[in-house]
């Protein structure tokens, strides 16, 4: 039986690649019905398809059909393109199959709070000014994810329980990656304050998180390549980070891990709660 929520926010699906975990996302969508579905960038990976060719599996095709079907049946679907599907940005303001394309979007939650929805690549200095470095980093990340698939198979063969992420381990250990995440979150929060909203929901860095600084809430959807995470809004406006993994299907924001940079630096957020 599916759980009814008001809104679903997902990002960084990377359709068109072998790393895309479309099967898990299909399971998640089957378990959650909503009035709103927000696709916050890098849903389709044109970068990877240009470099390595198109990989389009049956689950990926089913996922696209499922989203289109929801759009036809009174679910408001908004697509905010990211850097990997930036070609769609030139169509901002248009609708395709009842899916609205927006450069960014302000969502008003059930409790009246206003959230700015954007992918977040505009706050990534590497992506903006050194695209070749970003492409190299993307290739390294793709390699780590592919290695992780083989490690997962080996762990299952050996009977090792749970899920272990090589990419996540690298993020926790590489100081530069931690500092990048920390700087990114601060830049996004600063922009949200300038826009006068209560919070911001983004993606891009594949690091799911919910934290509140002063009166502004930062929410990152994570990804459906490695961590399989999403943000949902409940009927009362409460936001929750869902970790659709092998160990536990969901976690409330009170249980959500701190952003990796915060954990490494041992900086406590001013408020971390499920009531955001």
Higher-confidence residue of 53 and 272: namely 53
* Residue 271 located in a structural domain: no
Q: Which of 59, 9, 11 is nearest to 34 (CA)?
A: 9
Q: What is the pLDDT of residues 200-234, one digit of tens each?
A: 999 999 999 999 999 999 999 999 998 899 999 99
Chain-centre distance of CA 137, in angstroms?
18
For residues 96-117, give the mean pLDDT.
Answer: 97
The structural domain count of the chain equals 1
Q: 204 is in which domain, residue-wise?
A: 3-265
* Residue 275 located in a structural domain: no
Q: What pLDDT is stored for residue 129 in this prediction? A: 41
Strands (E), the chain: 3-4, 7-10, 32-33, 36-39, 76-79, 95-96, 99-101, 105-108, 114-117, 199-202, 209-213, 216-220, 229-233, 239-243
Residue 106 to residue 214: CA distance in whole angstroms: 20
Higher-confidence residue of 159 and 123: namely 123
Q: What is the pLDDT of residues 181-203, one digit of tens each?
A: 778 899 999 999 999 999 999 99
Q: What pLDDT is stored for residue 271 in this prediction? A: 31
Terminal-to-terminal C-alpha distance of the chain: 26
* Residue 200 located in a structural domain: yes
Residue 179 pLDDT > 70, yes or no? no
Q: What pLDDT is stored for residue 47 in this prediction? A: 85
Residue carrying the six token digits 């579905």: 37
| Radius of gyration of the CA atoms of the chain, in A | 18
Provide the CATH number for the domain around residue 34: 3.60.21.10
Q: What pLDDT is stored for residue 52 in this prediction? A: 78
Q: Which of 215, 213, 222 is nearest to 186 (CA)?
A: 213
Does the pTM surpass 0.85? The reply is: no
Residue 39 to residue 269: CA distance in whole angstroms: 27
Residue 230 to residue 100: CA distance in whole angstroms: 20
Pair type for strands 199-202 and 114-117? parallel
């Amino acid at each position: 039986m599916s759980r009814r929520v008001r809104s679903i926010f997902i990002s960084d699906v990377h359709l068109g690649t072998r790393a895309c975990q479309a099967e898990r996302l299909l399971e998640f969508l089957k378990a959650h019905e909503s009035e709103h579905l927000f696709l916050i960038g890098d849903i389709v990976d044109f970068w990877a398809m240009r470099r390595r060719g198109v990989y389009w599996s049956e689950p990926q095709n089913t996922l696209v059909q499922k989203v289109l079907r929801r759009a036809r049946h009174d679910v408001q679907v908004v697509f905010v393109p990211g850097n990997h599907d930036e070609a769609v940005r030139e169509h901002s303001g248009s609708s395709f199959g009842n899916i609205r394309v927006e450069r960014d979007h302000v969502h008003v939650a059930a409790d009246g709070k206003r959230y700015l929805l954007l992918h977040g690549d505009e706050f990534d200095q590497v992506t903006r000014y050194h695209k070749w470095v970003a492409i190299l980093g993307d290739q390294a990340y793709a390699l780590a994810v592919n290695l992780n698939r083989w490690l997962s198979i080996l762990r299952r063969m050996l009977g090792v329980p749970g899920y272990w992420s090589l990419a996540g381990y690298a993020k926790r250990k590489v100081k530069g990656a931690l500092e990048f995440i920390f700087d990114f979150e601060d830049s996004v929060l600063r922009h949200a304050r300038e826009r006068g909203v209560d919070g911001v929901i983004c993606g891009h860095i594949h690091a799911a998180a919910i934290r509140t600084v002063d009166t502004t809430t930062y929410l990152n959807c994570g990804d459906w390549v490695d961590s399989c995470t999403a943000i949902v809004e409940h009927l009362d406006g409460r936001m929750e980070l869902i970790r659709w993994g092998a160990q536990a299907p969901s976690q409330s924001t009170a249980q959500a891990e701190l952003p990796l940079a915060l954990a490494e630096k041992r900086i406590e957020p001013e408020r971390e709660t499920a009531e955001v």
